[in-house]
Amino acid sequence: VAEETGTAVVLGVPLPSLRYRTPDGRGKHVRYWAARPTTDEDAPALTARAPVTPAPRTEVDEVVWVSAATAQEMLTRVTDRAPLAVVEELWAKDRLDTHTVAVVRHGQAKRRSSHPGGERTRPLTPAGVRQATALVPVLAAFGVRHVVSSPWERCLRTVEPYALASAAPVDVVEALTETAHRDNPKAVTELVTARLRGGEHVAISTHRPVLPAVLRALAAESRGWTLGNLPHTDPYLRTGESLVAHVTGRGSASRVVALEHHRPPRNGPTGATAPA
């Protein structure tokens, strides 16, 4: 969007994707999101993004804002109207203005049997470091402004590249550790609920055994009309994978409008995310 229009955006609710054949016969899969122009409050996410080179003027005839009705008329492919129709529906139901809560499972870590230092200091493997780096453009795309993490090494190092790239504040919370969750899982659910209802774009980095408590909080804020699904089977998220929740409203009126998964590319960051 920034390349072709000059307007930087933050991604919101995912929309229907399209698959079709290009004139040369190749298959193409296009994913869409609702989006909004960035504001000064999005400075952390903008700082973390790679520079965008504007498209050559020969590729862009005109950049103009139009109404949804006019956009429907201008779209030359009938199938391209499906994502826009969902945007209009979400707008009519007051589900388009959202904030993001991204739940991140830490990247691949060194095996317990090969790390004598204990659980708190078990580090990421080289693959885990690549997963952490690949997470940066994902969190930046969704406008994350704040990071919350378990203090254990593998969780902190997973979100460290984004925190360094964006200068986003990091809250270290003991309740997100495996041992604290084992003693008091309710504290995790309460923490996540507070973040869902707080209206802030935030990422939460934690461990696989903690995810059931996290998912309970998300389930409580979801409804039958929520787009996407929560994972229901262990391990819930793979290492380095994130579950992005789009939330509308604040306080007790907050609702999860949509859910989507993102996993890091197998060979490290490529400038784009790989949808799960």
pLDDT tens-digit profile of 54-79?
A: 999 898 999 999 999 999 999 988 89
Residue written as token pair 């609920």? 193
pLDDT of residue 276: 32
Name 51's Cβ contacts closer than 8 Å, sequence gap at least 6.
none
Mean pLDDT of the chain: 93
pLDDT of residue 118: 82
Q: Is the pLDDT of residue 273 over 50?
A: no
CA quadruple 82, 88, 90, 92: dihedral sign: negative
DSSP element (H, E) containing 177: none
CA quadruple 127, 133, 137, 138: dihedral sign: positive
Compute the radius of gyration of the chain from its Cα atoms.
Answer: 20
Tell me the backbone φ, ψ of residue 110, rounded to 5 degrees. Answer: -60, 145
Query: Residues 266, 239: contact at Cβ < 8 Å?
Result: no
pLDDT band, very low/low/confident/very high, at 266 (cuts 50, 70, 90): low
CA–CA gap between residue 94 and residue 36 (Å, rounded): 15
pLDDT tens-digit profile of 135-180?
A: 999 999 999 999 999 999 999 999 999 999 999 999 999 999 999 9
Q: Is the pLDDT of residue 261 over 50?
A: yes
Specify the 3-state DSSP secondary structure of 114: helix
Q: Is the pLDDT of residue 271 over 50?
A: no
Name 97's Cβ contacts closer than 8 Å, sequence gap at least 6.
248
pLDDT of residue 154: 97
CA–CA gap between residue 251 and residue 232 (Å, rounded): 26
